[in-house]
C-alpha cells in the first residue's frame, strides 16, 4: 500500500504547498516593494530557506499528529496571500484613478504636454516606476498592505517552527524522492501481460504506421534519417506502455524488422546509460567495456548498420522550458542514423511535446484511447477473477459488485490493475463490498498526482480552476484563456509579454500532458472543444480544495438550498439561476472572485434588484458571467438596464450578460456611466445582445479593456485610446469626429476577426491607409463593407487599395464593391495565406484575381449579378468548397477543379438547376466528379448509376423551399 500512501500524501501536499512554494509569493513582495519602498530581494532572501523547507516536507506530513495545525497554517497563508493580492489590486486601481483624474483636469484646459505624459503612463505596464502618480490623499491604505505582508511572513515562519518540532527526516529531501519513486511506477519491459484487453484496434493502427513506407526510404537517399517516429501519449496510468508492449510483441513475431529493442527512459536519465541499454538490446550482451561515450556511439552504429530496427523508447519525459532535455534526446537519436531505411522509433510519453521534440509529425502523435465502459469492466474482472476458481453463483454476484467498482475507477487502466489485484486476494462478497465503499480515487491516482506535480505552479492553478465546471463540460480554448487571464493566473517573465499569450501556453501544456483532451468531432467543420476526463476532474477537485465549488441545481428539482458551500470559496459555478439560492447561499460569500451562472432563463428574471445585491455584496468579484437561454417571447423587454452600483466591483475583469439568439427582438444591454470606473476591466461580453453605453464620454478610461463581444458595432467615440483592445465585433466608419476610420490606426493588438462597415464614408486611399490594417498582424478574418449607395467604382478602388490586410490573413470578405479592378495587394505584397474568399454584391473581377485565388480552399459568391463565373476557376486546384448563393443570372458553369469536395448552389435559375440535374448535360459533366448526397439527389444519382455511398456532397437548393430532410449542410 506504499503507492496508496504516496497518492494521498502528494494529493494533500499539492493543494496546500502550492501557495507557499510558487513564485506568486515572490511576485507579491516585488510588486508591494515598489509601493512601500522596501528591498524585496532582501526580504525574499530571508524567507527563501523557510519556503524551501515547507516544499521539502510535503510528503511526510500525512501521518503526522501535527497535520491539523499545519493545515490551519496553510489555510491562513492562502487567505493572507489572497488578501494581500487584493490590496495590490487596489493599489493599481487607485493609480489608474489618479491618472484618469489628471486626464480629465487636462481635458478642461485643452491638449497639453501633461496629457501626453499621462497617457504614456497609462499604456505602460502597471506598478513599474509609477508610484509618483500616487498622492498621500489617494486613500490607499499603505499600513494595511504592510500588515498583510507581515501576516504572510508570520504564517510561513510559524509553519516552519512546527516542522522543526516534528524533526522529520524528509527535510533532507529523502522522503520527497521516496514519494516520487513510489508514485512514478516501476521500470517497464517489452514483455506484455498474459492478456491485454481492449487495445487491439489501437495496436493495428500503430502497426500500420510502423510498416508505412516513407518517401525517403530510398537506397540513394543521404539527407533524411533512416527512421521515422511514431508516438503514443496520454496521462499516467492510461495504458501507453501496455499498448507499446502489445505492438512490440507482435513485431517480434513478424519479420518486418530485423531487430526489435525496448528501452525505458523515465524522467531523469543519463544519455550514456540509455545508449548502453540500446546497445545491450541490440546485441543481447552486457555493455560494460565502453567507458568513453564516443566509443560507445561508434560501436552502437556498427551494430545497427544495415539493419532495419524498431526501437521502443518508453516513458519519455520532456520539459519544453529545459533546453538541456531536448539536447539529450537528440544525442540519444544520433547513433540511430546508421540503421537501414524504414526503421522506426515508437515513443510513449505523458506529453505530446516530448513526441514532437523527438521528431514525430503531428499525424503520428497518437493519444491513448479511453476504454469503453464494458471493455473496462472486463479488464477489471480479468485482473480480479481470471483463473480464480469461483462457483457460478458467487461469480455472478462478484461481477455485479465489480460493475459498481468499475464506475468509480473512471476507466483508468492503472486503477483497474491496482484494485483488481486487491480484489483477487479475497473472493468474498463482504470484502468486495467494502472495496466498493472506499475512496478508490486516492488509492489509485499516484501516477496522476506525480504528473500533476511536474506542472509549473501557474499551470496547476489553471487546471484546478477547471473543476468549477460540471463533468464532461465542453471547454473552449479562448474562453478558458480569457478566464485565466481575468483571474490573474498568468505570470509574465519578460518585458512586453502578453498575459493571454502566457495563458495560451498554459493551455497548450495541459493539452500536451492530456490533462485537457480534444473532443472527437463528428463533422470536421465543428469548433474545437476540450474535455477533462472524469478521473482528471476528480484530480482537479482535489487540487482546488475549497477554492472552487459548483452547484448543479435544476429548475425541475426542489430548491437546491441544502448544499453546504465552503465559506472560504473563491470560485463558484451555478448551473441554473435561482434567486433564492443566490440570496441564501451566495450573497454572504464576501471573498468570492468568480460567479458563473450557467442558465438564467432570461435577463428579465435576473432583474435589477438581483444585480444590485450582487454588486453590493460580492465586491471582490473578478469574473461575473450570467448566461440566459434564448427567449422567443415577443414581449421580451427591449432594454435591460445594469444598475449604476456596478462601480462597486472595483476588481472586476470579466463581465458577461449572454443571451441566446432571439429572432424576434434585439435586446439592448444599457450599461451605466459608472462602468467607466472599472479600470481593471478586460472583457465585456453581451453575447447576441447589443451593448449601449448610457454615456460614452469616459468609456475610454477602461485602458485595460481587451475584448468586447456584442451583436453590433461599437458606438464608442475616440476608440483609438483603447490601445489594449484585442477583439471587437465591428467598426462603423463615419464622417463625424471620433468615429473616423483613422481611429483604428493605433489598435494594432486587434486579432481574430474584424468587420469594417461604412466604407462609403471613406473617400481616398490616404484615409484608408490611416486604418493601418497591415500593422494588425493578429487579424485572421477581415470583412470590408460598402452600403449600396452612390459611391463611384473608382473611389471604391482607391479605398480598397489602401486597406491592405496583414500578411497572415486567412479569410477575406468584400461586400458591395462595384469596381471590376481589384487591388494590387491581392497579387503582390498582400496576404499570402488567404484560404477563404467571399464576394457579396460585388462586380465580377477580372483575370488579375486568378493569382490571388490559386491557393483558396473555400470560395463564396453571393447576391452578385454576374452572368457567368470566372473562366479561371478550373485552375484553382486547392479549392475544396464552393458556394454560389442567389446569383440568379448565372446560366452556365465553367470547368471546375477536380479538388472540389463540396458544392452548394442556391438559385432561382431553373435553367442552371435543370442542366445540373440532367445526366450528360455540359453542366452535369462539370460537376459529376462531386457525388450528390441528399435523399432527393441520391434517387437521381441511382438513376444515373452513381454510388450513393460516396463521401463528398453537392447540395442543389431551390429558393422555393425544396425539402432535403436529414441533411445538416442543406
Half-sphere exposure of 543 (CA within 13 A, CB side): 29
Spacing of C-alpha 247 from chain mean position: 32
pLDDT on residue 25: 67
Q: Are 401 and 428 in contact (CB under 8 A)?
A: no
| Helix, strand, coil percentages for the chain (3-state, nearest 5) | 45, 15, 40
pLDDT confidence band for 557 (50 / 70 / 90): very low
Stretch among 222-231, 565-574, 868-877 having the lowest mean pLDDT: 222-231
| Tens digit of each residue's pLDDT (9 = 90 or more) over 326-371 | 888 888 888 888 888 999 999 999 888 888 988 889 889 988 888 8
Rounded average pLDDT over 4-13: 34
Task: Please check the confidence at residue 70 and state whether its pLDDT lies above 90.
Answer: no
**Cβ within 8 Å of residue 634, ≥6 positions away:** 664, 665
Cα atoms in the 13 Å half-sphere on the side-chain side of 310? 27
- Confidence band (pLDDT; 50, 70, 90) for 11? very low
Rg of the Cα atoms in the chain:
32
CA atoms within 13 A on the CB side of 66: 18
pLDDT of residue 104 exceeding 80, the answer is no
**pLDDT for residue 601:** 55
Supply φ then ψ for residue 812, to 5 degrees: -135, 130
pLDDT band at residue 237 under the 50/70/90 scheme? confident
Give the Å distances, CA to CA, from 831 to 113, 807, 823, 852, 854: 39, 4, 12, 9, 13
For residues 832 and 655, the model is more confident at 655
Task: Please give the C-alpha separations between residue 912 and each of 622, 861, 915, 920, 940, in angstroms, as whole numbers.
Answer: 57, 16, 5, 14, 16
Task: Report pLDDT digits (tens) over 886-906.
Answer: 999 998 999 999 899 888 888
Q: What is the DSSP string of 926-961?
A: HHTTS---SHHHHHHHHHTT--TT-S-EEEEEETTT
Distance in angstroms (rounded) separating the CA atoms of residues 844 and 544: 59
- Cα–Cα distance between 801 and 785 in angstroms, integer? 14
How large is the average pLDDT for residues 199-224? 74
Residue 664 pLDDT > 80, yes or no? no
pLDDT beyond 90 at 216: no
Give the torsion through C-alpha atoms of 682, 78, 494, 504, to 10 deg. -60
pLDDT of residue 7: 31
Continuous H helices in 37-66: 40-56
416 compared with 215, residue with greater pLDDT:
416
pLDDT band at 650 (very low <50, low <70, confident <90, very high): very high
Q: What is the pLDDT of residues 493-528, one digit of tens each?
A: 777 788 999 999 999 989 888 888 888 776 666 788
What pLDDT is stored for residue 15 in this prediction?
44
- b (16+ CB within 10 A) / e for 316-335: bbbbbeeeebbebbeebbeb
Q: Which residues contact 45 (CB under 8 A, 6 or more apart)?
A: none
Q: What is the dihedral of CA 576, 577, 581, 583, to 10 degrees?
A: 160
Sheet bearing 953-958, strands edge to edge: 731-732, 751-757, 778-785, 811-815, 836-840, 858-862, 881-885, 902-907, 953-958
Give the span between the Cα atoms of 936 and 434, in whole angstroms.
60
* Nine cell digits for residue 232: 503514443
Q: Is the pLDDT of residue 552 over 90?
A: no
Residue 185: the pLDDT is 45
When the pLDDT of each residue in the chain is averaged and rounded to a whole number, the result is: 78
Q: How many residues does the chain have?
A: 970
* Percent of the chain with pLDDT strictly greater than 90: 25
Which one has a higher pLDDT value, 675 or 447?
675
> Per the structure block, which three cell numbers stand in for 369?
484511447
Q: Is the pLDDT of residue 12 over 70?
A: no
CA dihedral 943, 948, 951, 952 (to 10 degrees): 30
Cα–Cα nearest to 542, from 664, 653, 460, 644: 460
8 Å CB contact between 618 and 589: yes
Best mean pLDDT range from 282-296, 472-486, 586-600, 952-966:
472-486
pLDDT band for position 112 (50/70/90)?
Answer: very low
pLDDT of residue 967: 32
At residue 128, the pLDDT reads 41
SS3 annotation, 203-223: HHHHHHHHHCCCCCCCCCCCC
Asked whether the predicted pLDDT for residue 16 surpasses 60, the reply is no
Mean pLDDT, residues 164-184: 45
Are 569 and 595 in contact by the 8 Å Cβ rule? The answer is no
Spatial neighbors of 247 by CB under 8 A, at least 6 apart, are 203, 206, 207, 210, 312, 346
- The 10s digit of each residue's pLDDT in 576-632 is 777 777 888 888 899 999 999 886 555 556 677 888 899 999 999 999 998 876 554
pLDDT of residue 733: 94
Q: Is the pLDDT of residue 933 over 60?
A: no
| β-sheet bridge partners, residue 550 | 573
Picking from 289-303, 738-752, 755-769, which range would have the lowest pLDDT averaged per residue?
A: 289-303
Alpha-carbon distance of 876 to 854, in angstroms, equals 5
Instruction: State the Cα–Cα distance between residues 823 and 830, nearest whole angstrom.
Output: 9
Task: Assign 959 a pLDDT band (cuts: 50, 70, 90).
Answer: very low
The CA dihedral of 569, 575, 579, 584, to the nearest 10 degrees, is -30
pLDDT band at 941 (very low <50, low <70, confident <90, very high): very low
pLDDT over threshold 90, residue 784? yes
Distance in angstroms (rounded) separating the CA atoms of residues 469 and 550: 7
8 Å CB contact between 799 and 767? yes
Distance in angstroms (rounded) separating the CA atoms of residues 417 and 272: 33
CB contact at 8 A, 11 and 442: yes
Report pLDDT digits (tens) over 826-849: 888 788 889 999 999 999 988 877
pLDDT tens figures, 533-550? 877 888 888 888 889 998
- According to DSSP, the residues that pair with 548 across neighbouring strands are 571
CB 551 within 8 A of CB 571: no
- DSSP of 349-372: ES-HHHHHHTT--GGGEEEPPPPP
Amino acid at each position: 500500500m506504499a503507492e496508496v500512501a504516496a497518492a494521498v500524501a502528494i494529493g494533500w501536499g499539492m493543494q496546500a504547498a502550492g501557495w507557499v512554494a510558487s513564485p506568486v509569493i515572490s511576485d507579491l513582495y516585488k510588486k508591494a516593494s515598489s509601493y512601500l519602498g522596501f528591498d524585496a530581494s532582501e526580504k525574499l532572501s530571508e524567507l527563501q530557506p523557510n519556503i524551501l523547507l515547507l516544499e521539502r516536507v510535503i510528503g511526510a506530513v500525512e501521518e503526522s499528529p501535527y497535520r491539523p495545525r499545519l493545515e490551519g497554517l496553510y489555510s491562513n497563508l492562502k487567505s493572507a496571500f489572497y488578501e494581500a493580492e487584493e490590496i495590490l489590486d487596489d493599489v493599481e486601481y487607485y493609480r489608474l484613478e489618479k491618472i484618469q483624474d489628471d486626464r480629465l483636469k487636462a481635458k478642461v484646459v485643452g491638449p497639453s504636454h501633461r496629457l501626453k505624459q499621462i497617457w504614456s503612463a497609462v499604456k505602460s505596464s502597471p506598478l513599474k516606476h509609477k508610484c509618483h502618480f500616487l498622492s498621500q490623499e489617494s486613500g490607499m491604505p499603505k499600513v494595511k498592505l504592510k500588515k498583510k505582508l507581515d501576516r504572510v511572513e508570520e504564517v510561513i515562519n510559524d509553519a516552519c517552527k512546527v516542522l522543526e518540532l516534528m524533526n522529520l527526516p524528509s527535510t533532507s529531501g529523502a522522503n520527497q524522492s521516496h514519494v516520487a519513486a513510489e508514485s512514478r511506477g516501476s521500470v517497464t519491459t517489452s514483455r506484455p501481460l498474459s492478456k491485454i484487453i481492449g487495445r487491439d484496434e489501437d495496436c493495428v493502427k500503430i502497426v500500420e504506421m510502423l510498416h508505412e513506407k516513407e518517401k525517403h526510404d530510398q537506397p540513394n537517399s543521404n539527407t533524411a534519417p533512416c527512421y521515422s517516429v511514431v508516438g503514443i501519449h496520454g496521462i499516467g496510468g492510461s495504458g501507453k506502455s501496455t499498448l507499446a508492449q502489445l505492438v512490440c510483441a507482435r513485431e517480434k513475431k513478424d519479420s518486418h524488422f530485423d531487430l526489435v529493442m525496448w528501452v525505458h527512459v523515465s524522467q531523469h536519465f543519463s544519455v550514456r546509460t540509455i545508449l548502453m541499454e540500446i546497445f545491450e538490446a541490440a546485441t543481447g550482451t552486457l555493455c560494460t567495456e565502453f567507458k568513453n561515450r564516443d566509443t560507445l556511439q561508434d560501436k552502437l552504429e556498427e551494430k545497427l548498420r544495415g539493419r532495419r530496427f524498431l526501437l521502443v523508447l518508453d516513458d519519455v519525459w520532456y520539459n519544453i522550458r529545459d533546453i538541456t532535455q531536448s539536447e539529450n534526446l537528440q544525442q540519444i537519436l544520433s547513433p540511430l542514423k546508421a540503421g537501414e531505411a524504414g526503421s522506426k522509433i515508437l515513443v510513449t510519453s505523458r506529453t505530446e511535446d516530448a513526441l514532437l521534440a523527438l521528431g514525430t509529425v503531428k499525424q503520428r502523435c497518437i493519444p491513448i484511447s479511453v476504454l469503453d465502459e464494458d471493455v473496462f469492466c472486463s479488464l477489471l474482472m480479468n485482473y480480479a477473477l481470471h483463473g480464480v476458481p469461483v462457483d457460478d453463483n458467487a461469480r455472478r454476484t462478484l461481477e455485479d459488485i465489480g460493475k459498481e467498482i468499475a464506475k468509480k475507477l473512471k476507466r483508468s487502466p492503472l486503477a483497474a490493475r491496482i484494485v483488481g489485484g486487491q480484489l483477487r486476494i479475497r473472493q468474498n462478497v463482504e470484502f468486495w463490498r467494502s472495496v466498493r465503499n472506499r475512496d478508490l480515487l486516492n488509492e489509485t491516482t499516484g501516477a496522476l498526482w506525480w504528473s500533476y506535480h511536474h506542472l509549473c505552479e501557474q499551470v496547476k492553478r489553471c487546471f484546478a480552476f477547471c473543476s468549477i465546471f460540471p463533468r464532461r463540460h465542453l471547454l473552449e480554448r479562448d474562453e478558458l484563456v480569457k478566464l485565466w487571464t481575468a483571474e490573474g493566473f498568468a505570470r509574465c517573465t519578460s518585458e512586453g509579454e502578453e498575459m493571454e499569450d502566457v495563458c495560451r501556453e498554459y493551455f497548450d501544456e495541459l493539452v500536451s500532458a492530456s490533462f485537457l483532451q480534444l473532443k472527437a468531432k463528428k463533422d470536421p467543420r465543428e469548433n474545437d472543444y476540450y474535455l477533462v476526463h472524469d478521473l482528471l476532474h476528480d484530480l482537479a477537485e482535489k487540487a482546488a480544495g475549497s477554492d472552487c465549488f459548483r452547484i448543479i441545481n435544476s429548475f425541475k428539482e426542489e430548491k437546491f438550498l441544502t448544499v453546504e458551500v465552503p465559506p472560504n470559496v473563491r470560485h463558484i459555478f451555478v448551473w441554473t439561476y435561482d434567486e433564492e439560492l443566490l440570496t441564501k447561499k451566495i450573497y454572504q460569500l464576501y471573498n468570492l472572485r468568480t460567479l458563473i451562472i450557467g442558465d438564467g432563463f432570461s435577463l428579465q428574471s435576473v432583474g435589477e434588484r438581483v444585480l444590485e445585491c450582487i454588486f453590493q455584496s460580492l465586491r471582490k468579484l473578478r469574473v461575473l458571467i450570467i448566461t440566459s437561454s434564448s427567449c422567443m417571447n415577443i414581449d421580451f423587454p427591449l432594454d435591460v438596464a445594469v444598475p449604476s452600483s456596478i462601480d462597486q466591483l472595483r476588481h472586476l475583469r470579466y463581465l458577461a450578460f449572454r443571451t441566446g439568439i432571439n429572432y424576434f427582438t434585439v435586446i439592448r444591454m444599457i450599461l451605466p456611466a459608472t462602468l467607466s470606473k472599472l479600470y481593471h476591466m478586460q472583457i465585456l461580453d453581451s453575447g447576441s445582445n447589443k451593448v449601449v453605453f448610457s454615456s460614452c464620454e469616459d468609456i475610454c478610461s477602461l485602458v485595460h479593456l481587451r475584448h468586447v463581444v456584442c451583436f453590433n458595432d461599437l458606438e464608442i467615440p475616440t476608440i483609438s485610446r483603447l490601445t489594449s483592445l484585442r477583439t471587437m465585433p465591428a467598426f462603423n466608419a463615419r464622417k463625424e469626429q471620433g468615429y473616423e476610420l483613422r481611429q483604428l490606426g493605433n489598435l494594432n493588438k486587434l486579432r481574430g476577426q474584424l468587420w469594417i462597415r461604412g466604407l462609403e464614408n471613406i473617400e481616398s486611399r490616404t484615409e484608408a491607409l490611416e486604418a493601418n490594417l497591415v500593422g494588425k498582424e493578429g487579424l485572421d478574418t477581415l470583412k470590408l463593407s460598402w452600403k449600396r449607395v452612390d459611391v463611384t467604382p473608382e473611389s471604391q478602388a482607391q479605398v480598397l487599395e489602401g486597406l491592405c490586410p496583414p500578411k497572415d490573413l486567412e479569410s477575406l470578405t468584400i461586400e458591395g464593391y462595384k469596381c471590376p479592378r481589384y487591388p494590387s495587394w491581392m497579387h503582390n505584397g498582400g496576404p499570402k495565406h488567404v484560404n477563404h474568399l467571399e464576394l457579396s454584391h460585388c462586380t465580377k473581377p477580372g483575370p488579375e484575381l486568378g493569382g490571388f485565388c490559386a491557393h483558396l480552399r473555400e470560395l463564396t459568391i453571393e447576391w452578385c449579378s454576374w452572368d457567368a463565373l470566372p473562366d479561371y476557376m478550373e485552375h484553382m486546384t486547392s479549392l475544396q468548397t464552393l458556394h454560389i448563393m442567389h446569383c440568379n443570372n448565372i446560366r452556365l458553369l465553367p470547368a471546375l477543379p477536380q479538388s472540389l469536395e463540396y458544392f452548394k448552389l442556391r438559385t432561382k435559375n431553373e435553367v442552371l438547376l435543370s442542366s445540373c440535374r440532367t445526366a450528360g448535360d455540359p453542366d452535369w459533366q462539370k460537376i459529376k466528379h462531386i457525388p450528390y448526397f441528399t435523399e432527393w439527389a441520391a434517387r437521381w444519382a441511382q438513376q444515373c448509376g452513381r454510388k450513393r455511398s460516396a463521401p463528398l456532397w453537392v447540395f442543389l437548393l431551390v429558393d422555393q423551399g425544396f425539402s432535403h430532410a436529414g441533411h445538416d449542410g442543406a
